[in-house]
Structure 1
Amino acid sequence: MATIERFEDIQAWQKAREVAAAIYQLCKTGELAKDFGLRDQIRRSAVSVQSNIAEGFGREGNKEFIRFLRIAKGSSTEFRSQLYNLLDADYITQIKFEELYQQSVETEKLIGGFINYLEKHI
């Protein structure tokens, strides 16, 4: 694995950024834009994934980094749960739900793989 010099180089962070950007776009229009509670909650969970990866990268050592990666993974799971709320409230279509859900799953897999890699190199 190539040396990662910046958190921006981490694939999981890049994917989490894409998911957060998609959610921010979605939250700009329609009824979701007016549902402040749900809108803010799903945005927070999406941003939390990205933020915890970056924060963990800035910590001292792999053990702390792994801890923050696990938090990011949990936030990704929370994000997927919030997607069901968007779907149930008819704020998104089934197709959009599946697209965002799959992107979130891909992000979690990248985080999990990175955790496994780091645990082997402690």
Structure 2
Amino acid sequence: MRHEQMEVWQRSKQLSVGVYRELRDLRDFGFKDQITRSALSIPSNIAEGFERYTEREKFRFVSIAKGSCGEFATQTLIGIEVGYIAEPIGQHWRSEAMVISRMLGSLLKALDVRHQN
């Protein structure tokens, strides 16, 4: 299966696009760089993993994507608390990040089972 066909990739890509659009005018470039990079890392690592040759490599990159999801959720919470991200938008992003994280967890379990065979 191509990564573009996967719901987890599609959702994470849309989340990343939303983050870039919402924070386009944010002047704290350090924060903006960090949160956009963590959001961008999720679909990017899924894509990279699915372009690799082995299940082990695929597992590794999906695992990195899951870690980036946790990083993004934390940065979103901080962004809400410091007033960079409106609470309704931030809560939506965090909710979406949790859904994506669960989807990636399920994908990792499936890849791990295949790797053991």
1:102 to 71, 85, 95: 95
* Aligned residue number for residue 11 of structure 1: 7
Q: Which runs of 5+ in 1 are unaligned?
A: none
Scaled by the length of structure 1, the TM-score of the pair is 0.89
Q: Give the Cα separation in 2 of the matches to 1:59 and 1:21.
A: 24
Letter in 2 for 1:72: A
2:28 to 32, 35, 44: 35
- Answering whether residue 79 of structure 2 is matched by residue 83 of structure 1, we say no
Q: Which runs of 5+ in 2 are unaligned?
A: none
2:67 to 61, 74, 97: 74
- Answering whether residue 112 of structure 2 is matched by residue 116 of structure 1, we say no
TM-aligned CA deviation for residue 93 of structure 1: 2.3
Letter in 1 for 2:22: L
Letter in 2 for 1:57: F
* Aligned residue number for residue 25 of structure 1: 21
Identity %, equivalent residues:
33
* Aligned residue number for residue 47 of structure 1: 40
Letter in 2 for 1:11: E
* Aligned residue number for residue 56 of structure 1: 49
Q: Could you list the structure 1 runs, at least 4 aligned residues long, displaced by more than 3 angstroms after superposition.
A: none
Residues paired across the two proteins, number: 115
